Amino acid sequence: MTASAFASDRRLDGRIAIVTGAGSGIGRAIAIRFASHGATIRVLDVDEAGASETCRLIQSKNGEASFYLCDVTKQRDVVAIFSELAHTGRIHILVNNAGVSHVGTVESTTEEDFDRLLRVNVKGFYNCMHAVMPHMKDNGGVILNMASIAGSAGLPDRFAYSMTKGAVIAMTYSVARDYLAHNIRCNCISPARVHTPFVDNYLKNNYPGREKEMYEKLAKSQPIGRMAEPDEVASVALFLCSDEASFITGADYPLDGGFFNLRG
């Protein structure tokens, strides 16, 4: 098989993909990658400036993208936006990516922080899947949830974040099982550390003047010796949402640089 034939397997021409939290980082990389393979992108985000920039980047390469201001924690708003989008064309793909992180143990995590992570990282994913199902059930579709190795591994100082990502993995399995008969595939990706603006801001706020040193320390905690880049996550996302992965559902894909199997 030629290289061009391989590439055509991952084309998303004629498909509409909703990507939440696509204003930066992993979400932006996924939106741009999907658009470069023919998908029409609907960006849902609370960050108007970041989401508009994502759309501009896609449109500058002759792709099609539009932005919808959306707080995924508010079910009524999410349902209304998904209904509006369904009237513009069939929804083929949902990428649940909007999320927040947190550093802390069970003692240092406040109730306010716990509730915030639960609302965004768990309820937000539920709201989007709840809203998209009526529009996918008749024609099938693909749902991709962004999880994390934190959801299935014991990471230090990630109590609330790990809790939410474990819930994402469990929801993925449940939805995949419940909607087999409707030809809806549901998978998740569990990355290790990814070099995103969150990492840079975390280092700036917590280790001023030592950012480079601490970045190297975090990067080398992966056996492969570096963090993942958002584009690498986008490559796996494209595969899982393409016809090339039509036999894959109910899977949690590790993108961990050897974290689980190669640690000393």
My answer on whether 33 and 155 are in the same domain is yes
User: With 50 as the cut, is the pLDDT of residue 1 above it?
Assistant: no
Which pLDDT does position 218 carry in this prediction? 87
Helix (H, G, I), strand (E, B) or coil at 13: coil
**Is 153 in the same domain as 167?**
yes
**3-class SS at 119?**
helix
Q: Summarize the confidence of residues 54-69 as an average pLDDT.
A: 98
Does residue 258 belong to any structural domain of this protein? no
Residues 224, 232: Cα–Cα separation, whole Å: 14
Total number of domains in the chain: 2
Q: In this model, does residue 2 exceed pLDDT 90?
A: no
Asked whether residue 79 falls in the same domain as residue 199, the answer is no
**Whether 37 contacts 60, CB under 8 Å:** no
pLDDT attached to residue 8:
59
The rounded distance, in Å, linking the Cα atoms of 18 and 21 is 10
Can you give the pLDDT at residue 205? 85
CA angle 116, 124, 20 (to 5 degrees): 115
Q: Report the candidate in 125, 115, 222, 109 with the shortest Cα–Cα distance to residue 165.
A: 125
Give domain status of residue 156, yes or no.
yes
Is the same domain home to 121 and 214?
Answer: no
Residues labelled catalytic? 161
Decide which of 1 and 141 is more confident: 141
Same domain, yes or no: 117 and 26: yes
Q: What is the pLDDT of residue 198?
A: 82
242 or 220, higher pLDDT: 242
Same domain, 186 and 77: yes
Q: Could you tell me if residue 2 is inside a domain?
A: no
Query: What is the domain extent for residue 150?
Result: 12-192+231-252
pLDDT at 158: 94
CATH number of the domain where residue 131 is located: 3.40.50.720
On average, the pLDDT of the chain sits at 94
State the CB neighbour count (10 A cutoff) for residue 224: 14
